[in-house]
Chain A
Amino acid sequence: MAFLIDDLLLLPFRLGLDIAEKIRDMAAEELEDTPEKLQRELLDLEMALEIEEITKKEYEKKEKDILARMEALKKEESKQK
């Protein structure tokens, strides 16, 4: 609940801070798949669906793709171990 005012009201500021922080880290951003990156993509996809930027069908297709990449990543990791 608290969240209601918290993130809505303060979002502009939190957003600002987060972005500042992330821009700083951006240089280090990898182009390769990482669990974090894939999770982010998943969230962005969900948001795109929420604002109807993509259809449910497109969403499902892309979600499948991301999940497959996650699976591949896991396999890769276990192989390395």
Chain B
Amino acid sequence: MSFLKNKNLGLILFGGKGGSGKTTSATATALYLQKTTKKKILVVSTDPAPSVGDSFDVEIGNKITQIKDNLWAIEFDSKELLEDFKKKNLKIIKTLVERGTYLSREDVEVVEGLAIPGMDEVMAIIKIADLLKTKEYDLIILDTAPTGHTKVLLSLPEAMERWMGVMDLMLAKHRFLTRLWRRRYSEDETEKFLKEKKADITEVKDLLKSPNLTEFVPVTIPEPMSILETEDLIEHLKELEIKVESIITNQILLPGECQFCKEKAKFQEEHIEMIEKRFKKFQIIKMPLFPKEIRGEKDLLEYAQILFGEKEYQLSIPEKALPKFPSLPKAKMADFLEKDLNFIICGGKGGVGKTVMAAATAIALAQKHKDKKILISTTDPAHALSNVFAQDIPLDTKVVPLKDFSNLFALEIDAQKMLKKWQDEYRQDIDTVFREFIGGGMDIAFDRKVMEELMELSPPGLEELMALGKIMDLMKEDKYDIYVLDSAASGHLLRFLELPEIIRDWLKGIFKILLKYRNIAGLVEIKRKLLDFSKDIKKIQETLFGSKKTEFVMVSIAEEMGVREMGDLAQSLEKLNIPYNYIVLNRIRPASHCKFCLTKRESQEKYIAKVKKEYPKKEVVLVPLFSYDIRGAEPLKELSKFLFG
């Protein structure tokens, strides 16, 4: 029984590629259920660039905000959640670290203030566990981040259980020693904390796997990238034993009146067939593309009525004279190719066409600079490069040449595989170290177990860490002249960009501790490695930030959510000192005579004007919506010609 009918559900998750309408579906469902049931409902956004507030047209943020009777919403802010968590638990965590490692209390103080990469998802799981514990809500509706990071989020409860197992093991030594001295051992605060947290996480894990209580609703649109991502997501959900019953297929076009709409609808038909074929095990809920943005209670309820099958969709465009719009001006990005750039990052909200823009840019560079080698890569765990180039680019740690080009290469980083490789390499090292220490007694035996367990864990933020590490390695090898990065959606892009600074902070903390032991012989190898590492990071920082060698290309769409997210991203870029000169507004409707196109275009023009006004110093590049998919070398070359002349 799907979420449309199942009254027992306690948790509904909406997920999919950026721009498919996850948030709209989540908030509309919440409003509908608020109207038709007596349940107490909480909508939670785990997206670092949340839009639940935009959708409800209410200011929300990281606090539970009442929307209506029995309906609340919160947009998780992982930084604030982490602060809260620290405030409450810092003392215990310090004790844990102190007991579990060789660090002294003083050393622990040094590392305490440091940020940990990848904590967003960890904090989200802990907060969800806390919310469940309060039992204040009958139903939690989760609006998730784009696919890649949602996969990380959902795998976390299991990973976290293991982490806590390791922490428990770290304490085992302490338990053993205490027992040795005092001949008895009673559980203290730290142990209780660990046990309790572990139980909370187990509860989240169990809830996710309970088919009666939980349902994941993938939201997709009839476009190849979205379909592929959905397939990948469903595969992952199956592994995690999370129930999927129905799939929302969003933004379906009605047969339009103009040539463009007709063409587009025809293209869509193929993709809808593909969806029906590939997902035939599931109930497919078809939702139309509305001529206007869906925001606020009235719009959402209308959307919900169609979603819940209460109403047939009828295209209604108010009768009024629609203005004429000029055809799009020529894109003025030719200058871009003249710059002496080392690094180009394409970023923006999910589903605005970052990957396509990155690919078109890489192609333009490859064609312009025949003597240079260009590498296109991605920090997005959703991996869309294969699709856009219509070439199988295996998830790997190796670079593959792109057919049709002599100087263009692609890399889809497989973070898990990189981790595995590292584990295999170092397992032996660790073995040797311990063998040398045999005879060290019980103490060492415990450490060995901890080390072994620790080796098996993937650290939080793995995807970003690996992407950064791989890029650093490649830069060191000096094999490529220009790197084009297709980034993850803006929230996670920022997380990636902040990573070098976080690592440097950690290194500084470690250096401080190491310098305390300056008179002790040894540690030479480790010190050397850390210093080299610190220098590499510095180099990447110098290349990325405040440098003429790096430029960011802002990609967005002319819609409220696109423009708003762009504003946040622009601010962060200023702070990080990453220059950007071009704003690409993608998917502009043609100025045809048809009412549907014109209504859409009218709303887009409003945002185009807004962007031009708010960013007077930037070159705003308008890119049309195409009736066909941009996939494979030829259409990409076309697009690159449009952009760069």
- A: which residues have CB within 8 A of B? 1-23, 25-26, 29, 36-37, 39-40, 43-44, 46-48, 50-51, 53
Contacts and interface: CB of A to CB of B under 8 A. Distances in A.
Contact of A4 (B518, B522, B524, B533): B533
Contacts of B527: 40, 43-44, 47
Contacts of A20: 102, 440
A45 to B, nearest CB: 10
Contacts of A19: 102, 517, 520, 523
B506 A10 contact: no
A44 B510 CA distance: 12
Nearest to B518: A44
Given A7-B529, A43-B528, 17 more contacts: A2-B425, A2-B426, A5-B419, A5-B459, A6-B426, A7-B533, A13-B102, A13-B450, A13-B451, A13-B454, A14-B433, A18-B523, A22-B517, A29-B521, A39-B524, A40-B527, A47-B530
A8 B418 CA distance: 16
A5 B522 contact: no
Interface stretch (B4-12, B147-155, B468-476, B564-572): B468-476
11 contacts: A1-B470, A4-B469, A15-B513, A16-B447, A36-B521, A43-B524, A43-B531, A44-B518, A47-B511, A47-B530, A50-B507
B526 A23 contact: no
Contacts of A22: 517, 520-523
Interface string B473-511: 100000000000000000000000000000100111011
A interface SS class:
helix
A1 B433 contact: no
A18 B447 contact: no
Contacts of B473: 1
Contacts of A11: 510, 526
Contact of A47 (B425, B440, B531): B531
Nearest to B525: A18
A5 B515 contact: no
A18 to B, nearest CB: 5
Interface centre among A10, A14, A18 (most CB of B within 10 A): A18
A13 B102 CA distance: 7
Contact of A1 (B472, B521, B534): B472
Interface centre among A13, A20, A53 (most CB of B within 10 A): A13
A67 B469 CA distance: 33
Contact of A48 (B469, B515, B529): B515
A43 B447 CA distance: 28
Given A7-B529, A43-B528, A51 B102 contact: no
B411 to A, nearest CB: 13
B521 A4 contact: no
B103 interface: yes
B421 interface: yes
Nearest to B537: A4
Nearest to B513: A15
Interface of B: 97, 101-103, 418-419, 421-422, 425-426, 433, 437, 440, 447, 450-451, 454, 459, 465-466, 468-470, 472-473, 503, 506-508, 510-515, 517-524, 526-531, 533-534
A51 B524 contact: no
Contacts of A4: 465, 468-469, 503, 533
Nearest to A48: B515
A15 B102 contact: yes
Nearest to B510: A11
A6 B526 CA distance: 11
Contact of B454 (A9, A17, A23, A43): A9
Contacts of B447: 13, 16-17
A13 B418 CA distance: 22
Contacts of A47: 511, 514-515, 527, 530-531
A6 B515 contact: no
A19 B426 CA distance: 20
A12 B102 contact: yes
A48 to B, nearest CB: 6
B562 to A, nearest CB: 34
Contacts of B513: 15
Contact of B515 (A16, A37, A44): A44
Nearest to A8: B506
Which 10 pairs from chain A and chain B are nearest by CB? Answer: A16-B102, A2-B422, A12-B101, A1-B469, A22-B522, A47-B511, A43-B527, A22-B520, A44-B518, A4-B469
A21 B522 CA distance: 9
A22 to B, nearest CB: 4
Given A1-B470, A1-B472, A29-B521, A17 B422 contact: no
A59 B111 CA distance: 25
Contacts of A43: 524, 527-528, 531
A3 to B, nearest CB: 6
B534 to A, nearest CB: 6
A24 to B, nearest CB: 10
A15 B107 CA distance: 12
A11 to B, nearest CB: 6
A2 B421 CA distance: 8
A36 B521 CA distance: 8
Contacts of A18: 522-523, 526
A23 B523 CA distance: 11
